[in-house]
């Protein structure tokens, strides 16, 4: 399995497809270890897609003594690209902290970022979002992973999809399973997410940027994603009024994939 020593930790990564490089990251999980099928449809058919495990997730190690920030995770990504010899790439942050990490990469190393895509993102947490993430961590710590998983799944998916897919969304192989048995990793990702603050620095991002706004998202709602679009010069926004935090259903997924691929093709 591909492990590389980056930024004083062992980082696991995978490469799928061929073509121009795309760096893709999700939230509190990974597209690795057989989950590449959860990437936007068509992405690996057109691009060389690099995916990886965040610190403490999957096979990537972590150093608990190092303060957890999105800048730390960004330095991990920058180091990975340097080791792989990738000097310029599309950065696609899908649903969560991966998008925030890529904001930091775009600010710190604009030369690496050919284009930037942010979904389910934020530039600065507000009080409700801060309390929401803190509550999830408290539930995980006090009531266990299963209770945390039930709560975040109910908030993350629309009611119809939840009803139809509840059995597969919950349990050992369900959503957010990468945090099972890893309360320390959950805490560090929460710390990084809550300390993330690029609001006053978004103007430094020069890469062409697409920001998605999901109307039914009760986690990273448009009140959090809109400031990202407004703060990045020339950023393009796309609204999906009926989509929850995780866009599901054939039509919504097709729309998301189409918008994403069309945007990447422009750059």
Q: What is the mean pLDDT of the chain?
A: 96
| 105-126 per-residue burial string, b: 16 or more CB within 10 A, e: under 16 | bbbbeeebbbbbbbbbbbbbbe
Residue 88, SS3?
coil
pLDDT one-digit tens code per residue, 144-176: 999 999 999 999 999 999 999 999 999 999 999
Determine if residue 92 is left, alpha or beta; phi over 0 gives left, psi from -120 to 50 gives alpha, anything else beta: beta
pLDDT one-digit tens code per residue, 208-237: 999 999 999 999 999 999 999 999 999 999
What pLDDT is stored for residue 97 in this prediction? 96
- For the segment 240-264, the average pLDDT, to the nearest whole number, is 95
What pLDDT is stored for residue 249 in this prediction? 87
To which CATH superfamily is domain 3-125+195-265 assigned?
Alpha/Beta hydrolase fold, catalytic domain (3.40.50.1820)
Alpha-carbon span 64 to 165, nearest angstrom:
35
Q: What is the pTM for the complete model shown?
A: 0.97
Residues 189 and 54 sit within 8 Å (Cβ to Cβ): yes
- pLDDT-derived band at 1 (thresholds 50, 70, 90) equals low
Enumerate helices (H) and strands (E) in the chain, giving the number of each: 9, 8
pLDDT one-digit tens code per residue, 72-85: 999 999 999 999 99
- In Å, how far are 5, 97, 108, 111 from 233, measured between CA atoms? 35, 21, 16, 16
Q: Could you write out the DSSP letters of every residue in 107-124?
A: HH-GGGEEEEEESS--SS
pLDDT one-digit tens code per residue, 31-53: 999 999 999 999 999 999 999 99
What pLDDT is stored for residue 51 in this prediction? 97
pLDDT one-digit tens code per residue, 82-125: 999 999 999 999 989 999 999 999 999 999 999 999 999 999 99
- For the segment 237-246, the average pLDDT, to the nearest whole number, is 96
């Amino acid at each position: 399995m591909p492990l590389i020593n980056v930024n004083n930790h062992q980082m696991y990564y995978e490469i799928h497809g061929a073509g121009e490089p795309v760096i893709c990251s999700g939230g509190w999980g990974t597209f690795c270890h057989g989950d590449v099928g959860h990437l936007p449809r068509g992405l690996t058919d057109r691009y060389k897609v690099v995916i990886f495990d965040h610190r403490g997730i999957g096979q990537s190690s972590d150093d608990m003594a190092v303060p957890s920030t999105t800048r730390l995770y960004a330095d991990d990504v920058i180091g990975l690209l340097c080791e792989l010899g990738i000097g310029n790439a599309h950065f696609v942050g899908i649903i969560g902290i991966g998008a925030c990490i890529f904001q930091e990469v775009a600010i710190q190393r604009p030369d690496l970022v050919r284009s930037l895509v942010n979904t389910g993102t934020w530039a600065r947490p507000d009080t409700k979002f801060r309390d929401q993430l803190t509550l999830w961590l408290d539930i995980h710590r006090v009531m266990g992973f299963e209770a945390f998983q039930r709560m975040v799944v109910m908030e993350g998916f629309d009611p119809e999809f939840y009803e139809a897919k509840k059995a597969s969304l919950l349990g050992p192989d369900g959503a957010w399973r990468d945090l099972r048995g890893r309360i320390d990793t959950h805490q560090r990702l929460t710390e990084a997410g809550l300390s993330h603050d690029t609001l006053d620095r978004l103007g430094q991002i020069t890469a062409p940027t697409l920001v998605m706004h999901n109307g039914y998202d009760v986690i990273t709602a448009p009140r959090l994603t809109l400031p990202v679009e407004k703060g990045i010069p020339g950023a393009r926004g796309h609204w999906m009024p009926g989509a929850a935090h995780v866009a599901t259903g054939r039509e919504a997924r097709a729309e998301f994939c189409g918008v994403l691929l069309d945007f990447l093709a422009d750059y």
